[in-house]
Amino acid sequence: MAASEDIETIRRQEAALVLERFDEAVAFEIGSAIRARALKEQLPIIVDIRTFDRPLFYAAMPGSNASNPDWARRKINVVKRYLRSTYRMVLEQQRPDRTFKVGEGLDIAEYVLAGGGFPVTVKGAGVIGVIAVSGLPEREDHNVVVDALCAYLGVDRAKLALPPSVD
């Protein structure tokens, strides 16, 4: 599938995966679901769910490593700045070095082009936070978050799914 088609699918995901409310209980429910899946499937990930002013859920799974939280932090910064999925940013920017263009003025220690950061959007409020997953290939990190949001919202995942990667 062409990047442009994936970008359009991710735009649909961002538009459809909107919460009625978001608080500690919602973050815990979504985070716990991701954690349960990670345990079941032995996914070596970390999960970091937060509003833009504070963390609400964090879990590190067996096999994750010390760099995963840093990757997640930099993904969170990208969502906070651009209010969109980091995987969408990867596909739009097409920068294999994982950095933003020099003219953006973004420090590589603080921002990274890598999938797995997804905006937490609340109806009537807009983007107020992020769900970040790190530890898998970026498309899979992204899909873990989308799967969890679809399950939480009762949205048919098949209608919003990215096709499997052909790498």
> In the chain, where are the structural domains located?
3-155
> In the prediction, which pLDDT does 2 show?
84
pLDDT digits 0-9 by tens, 112-136: 999 999 999 999 999 999 999 999 9
Q: For residue 99, name the pLDDT band (cuts at 50, 70, 90).
A: confident
Q: At which residue do the structure tokens 């950095």 appear?
A: 99
pLDDT of residue 167: 54
Instruction: Write the CA distances from 95 to 23, 41, 69, integer angstroms.
Output: 35, 31, 22
CA atoms of 88 and 139, how far apart (whole Å):
10
The answer, yes or no, to whether residue 1 has pLDDT greater than 70, is no
Query: Is domain 3-155 given the CATH code 1.10.357.10 in the classification?
Result: no
Distance from C-alpha of 122 to C-alpha of 91, rounded to nearest angstrom: 24
pLDDT at 71: 97
Q: With pLDDT > 90 as the criterion, what percentage of the chain qualifies?
A: 87
Q: What are phi and psi of 59, to 5 degrees?
A: -150, 140
Higher pLDDT, 2 or 143: 143
Q: Express each pLDDT in 16-67 by its tens digit.
A: 999 999 999 999 999 999 999 999 999 999 999 999 999 999 999 999 999 9
- Please give the Cα distance from 127 to 97 (Å, whole number): 27
Q: How confident is the model at residue 163 (pLDDT cuts 50, 70, 90)?
A: confident
**CA distances (Å), origin 154, targets 101, 115, 118, 148, 157:** 38, 23, 18, 10, 9
Residue 106: how many other CB atoms lie within 10 Å? 18
> What's the mean per-residue pLDDT of the chain?
95
Residue 80: is its pLDDT beyond 90?
Answer: yes
